[in-house]
Amino acid sequence: MIDNFSALARLGGMSHFPSDPYKMGAANRDLEEEALGWVVRLSSGEVTAEERKEFGSWSEDRDNALAYERATRLWAGLGPILEEQEEAGWPNAVSPGVPALLPAPEPLPAVAGVSRSPSRWRIAGIAASLALAILPAVQYVRVWQYDHVSGSSVQAGLALPDGSKIAMGPDTAISTDFNNGARHVSLARGEVYFDVRHDPAHPFVVSSGDGVVRVLGTAFTVRRRDDDSVIVTVTRGRVQVTSGARTEVLTPDRQISFDYRGLGALRAVDASVATAWMRGRLIMENRPLGEVLSELDRYDSGKIVLLNSEAAQRRINAVIDLERTDGWLSALASSQGLTLTRIGPLKILR
């Protein structure tokens, strides 16, 4: 549990006491960051009388008071999102942690022209990648039961026992069976690129969700999405995909998906675009912004949140350098008329 100010400060992304910039008369002070800093501090349950007095002085300024109101609404609005992450496990965290509930910050003193309404809410604390404790049972479910697990970055150049090569996308988990001549990989979550060593006597099999992929020697990707649907994309050779009673053979630049209903339609794609993540790029063409950010979120060590339903539907093209996602998000916010706020591992667009 989060029970001290230093931990809360790390969660809030604060490197200083909330009031330091204004107290020092900094010309480039970030009012929104100050206000969020006070929200974190006043949620800690460890506020001293001196700090309450300082907060009272700070909040007498109308701009400060309004910024604090905005910060508390933002913090409260994140509650459902963080609770979903608590239930599902932080998407890119290899080590989920014990969630901590933070009480609401103290209300502002009365300020002329600023309306007050009592707030009753508590939110799930940001655990996951900043976990302060580990639940062994959760750790087993997410990590220990699998042979290979990746974190929030791509793992390339991995060798399987038969000499085949694989690259694992973020938050990917696989189990393998190469005993007695078998060549079998089970994909539990995430995405894997396979460059399979040719061996006619021993077919290479990948099972995931409601389907099976069989090959002799080829290169392809298999991605299992959060809804348990699976996408197979071929870059070289031929791949046989079976789901239910139907089987399709894929050649290069072809893609197919399947779920509990069986195989979908065979599609022509640019496999180099679909596998750009292996080269440190994410390429999205004419996709809704919400979908682009959801995809980018897989490669981010924290959590990207879009709190603008209208913006989520805007269709964009994007080529994102996965080593410079923060810069891309800042440029995106500017070009789309959005505000980007960072709270520790959270990156909030609104």
pLDDT tier at 119, thresholds 50, 70, 90: very low
Per residue in 167-224, pLDDT (tens digit) is 999 989 999 999 988 999 999 999 999 999 999 999 999 999 999 999 988 999 999 9
Average pLDDT, the chain: 77
Q: Is the pLDDT of residue 11 over 60?
A: no
**Where along the chain do its domains lie?**
5-138, 155-271, 280-349
Check: CB of residue 263 under 8 Å from CB of residue 244.
yes
What is the CATH architecture of 280-349?
Answer: 3-Layer(bab) Sandwich (3.55)
Q: Is the pLDDT of residue 150 over 70?
A: yes
- Predicted model pTM: 0.64
Per residue in 252-291, pLDDT (tens digit) is 999 999 999 999 999 999 999 999 999 999 999 999 999 9
Angle, vertex CA 232, rays to CA 325 and CA 224, nearest 5: 60
pLDDT tier at 76, thresholds 50, 70, 90: low
Q: Is the pLDDT of residue 58 over 70?
A: yes
User: Which residues, in sequence order, are CB contacts of 218 under 8 Å at separation 6+?
Assistant: 194, 196, 234, 236, 237, 238, 239
Domain 155-271 has CATH 2.70.170.10: no
C-alpha to C-alpha distances, 161 to 196, 219, 225, nearest whole angstrom: 11, 17, 26
Per residue in 152-161, pLDDT (tens digit) is 789 988 999 9
Q: Which residue has the higher pLDDT, 102 or 210?
A: 210
Check: CB of residue 127 under 8 Å from CB of residue 97.
yes
Q: Is the pLDDT of residue 135 over 60?
A: no
Same fold, 155-271 and 280-349: no
Return d(Cα 67, Cα 57) in angstroms, integer: 14
Return d(Cα 2, Cα 132) in angstroms, integer: 8
The number of beta carbons lying within 10 Å of the beta carbon of residue 328 is: 16
